[in-house]
Amino acid sequence: MKNLITALLLGAAATATATSHAAVDPYGYTLPPSMQKKKKPAAPKKKAAPAVDYVGEYVNFGDWKDVRAFLDELAARDGFDRAELNALMAQVRFVDAAVQLVKPAPPGKPKNWQAYSKLMIDPVRIDAGVKFWNENSEALQRAESLYGVPADILVGIIGVETVYGRNTGRFRVLDALTTLAFSYPEAPQRRERMAFFRGELEATLLFARQTGIDPLSLKGSFAGAIGMPQFMPSSVMKYAVDFDGSGKIDLLASSTDAIGSVAAFLAGHGWQREQTGPLVYAATVSPNRAWEPMINQGLVAKYRVPELGAAGVTPAAPAPDQLYGLVDLQNGAEPTEYWLANANFFAITQYNRSYFYAMSVVELGQAIRQARGAAAAPVAGMTSGM
């Protein structure tokens, strides 16, 4: 009997413990609020990022005074039919997403080259770059022979721009350019930027007429850049080449045309084929900061190594006797990196006016060249007879 009573008491205690946090006690009576198990508050749901509106909305640009004056100029200067321009403009849409995306980043956040480079020089781009290089080796060799631009630079640019055609843009080019040409956001250089986009809009219409394509069929970035190399329409008109000999220029589907066109662009912006060594040399700077006036002296190589040395800039490795610019790559709270960059580095900045961009092209190209070489090297201990 004693054992039975003990077992019953232990069972009741265990039941009471198990139900101590339940809403009722072992006998089915509701527990007071202070004894009830408290529910953890649900974690707040993260707000989903708003989807990008690539389509925009109808605003009847033809009613805008500035647009009408612009169309009059095109009709007079380029011989466009004014009624056809009216009909075309009636189909163009205002894309607020382009306005938002073209705005500069909010002030206060420091630039960080290391964070930027991790986004641009990643395994996806490197693997895709090796594949692109292997599939287009003949076109890359031909472009280097004709224009003097090495394969790793061409592969680096196309990789940074669109991951070899994966991300060429989903905006109608005519919508994006018209929106930015006549409704650019408030900015210190708003007038100049609007003039730039009006020029690109005119180039788009001229290109469409020249090639016989529907201008509304062109798709690209929020700024109107087109194809694998993300050429602005004026660059398409001036530098795009039919490098595959098909009889037409196709920067969207022809890797060969994209390769030849990028090489032609760089050759037209100061690429020097005789400078065959590295484009950049790591450097240290002296604490006296006599070198500081050499920063931000325009996108051009203008100093000799002795001049830089006299100001306290020392390359980590011997640099050839060429002209250089002093490039600073800020790293947020970490120390800034300093590099000597030659004329070919600054030719890349004509593609995109950013030190970060040019350096990412250089380093991505180098990473792809190394990965491609490693893949081609024989595995240690293996023989060709196996």
Residue 17 has pLDDT above 50, yes or no: no
pTM: 0.84
Residue 185: DSSP 8-state:
P
Q: What is the pLDDT of residues 184-205, one digit of tens each?
A: 999 999 999 999 999 999 999 9
Q: Is residue 120 exposed (0-12), middle (13-18) or buried (19+ Cβ within 10 Å)?
A: middle
The one-character DSSP state at 383 is: -
Instruction: Answer yes or no: are the C-beta atoms of 344 and 275 closer than 8 Å.
Output: yes
Please give the Cα distance from 139 to 148 (Å, whole number): 13
Residue range 98-103: mean pLDDT, rounded: 96
Contact 366, 150 (CB under 8 A): no
Edge-to-edge strands, sheet with 325-331: 313-315, 280-285, 334-341, 325-331
**What are the structural domain ranges in the chain?**
280-341
Q: Which residues are catalytic?
A: 161
Which of the four pLDDT bands, split at 50, 70 and 90, describes residue 10? very low
Q: What pLDDT is attached to residue 107? A: 79
The single-letter code of the amino acid at 281 is Y
Of 105, 61, 102, 91, whose CA–CA distance to 184 is shortest?
102
Model confidence at 46, in pLDDT bands (50, 70, 90)?
low
pLDDT of residue 376: 81
- pLDDT, residue 43, reads 61
Report residue 302 as tokens.
């203008």
Average per-residue pLDDT for the chain: 89
- Going by pLDDT thresholds of 50, 70 and 90, the confidence category of residue 386 is very low
Question: Residue 49: what pLDDT?
Answer: 59
For residue 3, is pLDDT > 70?
Answer: no
